[in-house]
Structure 1
Amino acid sequence: MGFASLSAVMLVCGDLHRSLRFYRDILGFRVTADAAPARFDLELREGVALSLHARSGLLAVRPGSLQLGFFVDNVDAFLADCRHLEVPIFQDAYDEPFGRVAVIGDPDGYPIQVASPRAQS
């Protein structure tokens, strides 16, 4: 018995449509399934979905129980856009050995790490 591949990351959302606007309109993910009012799926990469679920009795996990991570072209430019759009910034940009990193928050308080790798010299 084993796993073949990752198929989805599921987030429970306090306001499903607010989260949809954040992930679709601000982060730029494409909607692949509309099962409103219960769920929206967005494509993270081919074959892997970010599945946004409306909070219910069955799906009552606490926000902040996981952290997503995405690469962006330029962390500082991305943060400037986030500030303009009033996206919460949990950790301002800082340098790591591999590149530049920051942490923003989604509408439910889930932390999202954004990183841009250091240019190879």
Structure 2
Amino acid sequence: MFAGTHHVAVICSDYPRSKRFYTEVLGFKIVAETYREERRSYKLDLAIPGGVQIELFSFPDTPARPSRPEACGLRHLAFASDDFDADVARLLAAGIAVEPVRIDPVTGRKYTFFQDPDGLPLEICEGFPVQAA
């Protein structure tokens, strides 16, 4: 039916701040950056290891959205980590608040949550191998 996940779209409130967060703090590579004059909007395509992309959009006057992990809708975006402790340390060194590390009772692996500049809940999961498409 479906071949896999292609991208996750994120609308940000402050494009330069979010671009810096996703590229410099999280380390995702820029695939393409487009400014769409008719929409007064940027679209930034970012490559995540494993073949999935994040499409980062900016639009003028975007409404706020509930972002708590238990809000109705998309709960959070999770990233697999092959060096969990180093990734958590890198976030902390960049001034990113990270929740206390938890252990998944089913898998026995570490995970934790943090937020992007607009409060979007993000998660790091320990040791889940990235599947090639």
Return the TM-score normalized by structure 2.
0.73
**Residue 86 (str. 1) matches residue 98 (str. 2):** no
Q: Secondary structure at the match of 2:101?
A: strand
C-alpha distance in 2 between matches for 1:7 and 1:84:
30
Pick from 53, 56, 68 the counterpart of residue 57 of structure 2: 53
The counterpart of 1:95, out of the listed 103, 107, 112, is: 103
> Are the structure 2 counterparts of residues 63 and 11 from structure 1 closer, same or farther at C-alpha, using a change threshold of 3 Å?
farther
The number of residue pairs the alignment matches comes to: 114
The match for 1:30 is: 29
Question: Residue 75 of structure 1: which of 55, 80, 84 is its match?
Answer: 84
Displacement, 1:39?
A: 1.3
Aligned-pair identity (%): 28
Identify, as 1 or 2, the structure richer in strand: 1
Q: Which residue number corresponds to residue 5 of structure 2?
A: 6
CA RMSD, 1 decimal: 2.3
Contact 2:112 2:123 in 1 (8 A): yes
> CA–CA distance in 1 between the matches of 2:123 and 2:63?
23
Shift in Å, 1:33: 0.8
1:43-86 per-residue CA deviation (whole Å, 9 max, x = no partner) reads: 1243x3200000336x6462625311011123233222211111
Residue 43 (structure 2) aligned to one of 39, 42, 66 = 39
Q: Which runs of 5+ in 1 are unaligned?
A: none
Match of 1:106, as an amino acid? D
Unmatched segments (≥5 aa) in structure 2: 36-40, 68-72, 129-133
The answer to whether the 8 Å contact 1:76/1:93 transfers is no
| Counterpart selection for 1:113 from 107, 120, 123 | 123
State the AA in 2 paired with 1:76. Answer: D
